[in-house]
Amino acid sequence: EVIKRANDTPYGLAAGVITKDLSRALQLVEQLQAGSVWVNQYSPLQLQAPFGSFKQSGHGRKLGR
């Protein structure tokens, strides 16, 4: 249910997973529809660095599709 709720949005720029179980985190990361996924932290990006995204967060990158 968590993955379904997290992916139920028109945007997909970034997501985060907080857990003590690294193998579970990796399973969740694979299922999340987001350009960047952080595990147990949040890392701001430098604006000069290229990055991708999903859904309507993908302006300029093939519309995120």
The whole domain housing 34 covers 2-41+51-57
Q: pLDDT for 15-32, tens place per residue?
A: 999 999 999 999 999 999
pLDDT of residue 19: 95
In a domain? residue 62: no
In a domain? residue 12: yes
Into how many domains does the chain fold? 1
In a domain? residue 65: no
Residue percentage of the chain with pLDDT more than 90: 42
In a domain? residue 22: yes
CA distance readout (Å), 6 to 28, 31, 46, 49 = 10, 10, 25, 25
In a domain? residue 64: no
In a domain? residue 46: no
Prediction pTM value: 0.66
pLDDT of residue 52: 62
In a domain? residue 31: yes
Mean pLDDT score of the chain: 80
> 44 falls in which pLDDT band (50, 70, 90)?
low
